[in-house]
Amino acid sequence: MKMREWLWGLMATALAAAYLLLMPGYLASERQELTLQSKQESGETFSGIITLWHIVGFKPYQGSLGTWLSDRASAFEKRHFGVFINITAMTPEEFEARLNRGERADAYSFPMGWGYAERFQPLPDVKAELLPALEGTGAQAGETYAVPYAMSGYLLLSNSRLEQEKGISLSEETWRADLQDAVDTLTYTYGKKARQRYGMAGSELMAALLGLQCQVTPYDSFKGGGAALALGDIRDAGDMSRLQTAGKGFSYRAWPASSYTDLVQYLAVARDTEPAKLPYIEAYFELILRADHQASLLEQGLLPAVLLPEEKEAEADIVAAVQTALAEPQVPNAFLYQRYRDELFALAKRALDGDAAARVDLEARMKELVIQGEIQ
């Protein structure tokens, strides 16, 4: 009797061992078969991960553009079984470090002034009704290599207390005519240690385009009270408002600085991306450029790149003001801007120092970048 029980126990143990040994392979095979069947039924020609690196050059009034892209990726994945979009946000410096380690992405979100066309492959005919001023800004030699999808703008920000201390009263209607005098008055030394306070901080290029002659200190000087005025972007205004709300900032005013902007974000496909991924990248780009998704950019404080079917105004007042100022924006060709960026910045520095010839050259070059719109 005991022998029979022992044999039954041995057989049960052997069967259990066989189950544990064979079942994982069987289940994996079944899962693979089901995945293949589902893929065939859904009509997908590719399954796997598509990587998109979001190179951060500017930010929305609030929130994160990288998160916004990830939300669009989630919506895309619900429509395409087994296809995943992996969004990774990084600075240009972090990109270079990854590139040096041999890492690559399939697609990019990048700001104007970051990449040459040679890094990308020609885009298919991505369906979107772009703003007229943005059409062709991602083209070179008749080929489109990048499509714009988001835009920000420059602001003049003013420290109200420092204005009042020096008897300055800039107004929304007349600040352009009064700006040089204000900058001169607000540039001075103070205190027993003769500390320097600057009249202007932020973008040197924008300061030069506004016709100023002055020293422009980095934007952080404005945040720390070392500069009375600054040329920043929409995010800078958002940060200032949040500091005020937290009781850590200072009273400030802000106005749109110009209808010119180079704060434009583009989508592009890496030159060596495998062909099987291309239709899905195209579909994801078209989802991003769809009018309802573009309209949602306004909620974060960025401007859409496409014509919306009906007018929609941003909720934040300063973003709405920039939206009005950029209703017909002046935007350079992204690759011309990249090619001449160092020259532009050098001309801007010379113009700020009072070099009249540099100012003429800067204005001529900017007209070429904005009006020509394409590298021949």
Express each pLDDT in 198-252 by its tens digit: 999 999 999 999 999 999 999 999 999 999 999 999 999 999 999 988 988 899 9
- The predicted pLDDT at position 297 comes to 97
In whole angstroms, what separates CA 34 from the centre of its chain? 39
Which of 53, 129, 43 lies closest to 86, judged by CA?
53
Question: What distance in Å separates the CA atoms of residue 102 and residue 71, rounded to the nearest whole number?
Answer: 28
- pLDDT over 80 (residue 3): no
pTM of the model: 0.86
Per-residue H/E/C for 245-300? HCCCCCCEEEEECCCECCCEEEEEEECCCCHHHHHHHHHHHHHHCCHHHHHHHHHH
Region 109-128: what's the mean pLDDT? 92
- The predicted pLDDT at position 191 comes to 85
Region 35-62: what's the mean pLDDT? 81
Q: Is the distance from CB of 305 to CB of 151 less than 8 angstroms? A: yes
Backbone angles phi, psi at 62, to 5 degrees: -150, 155
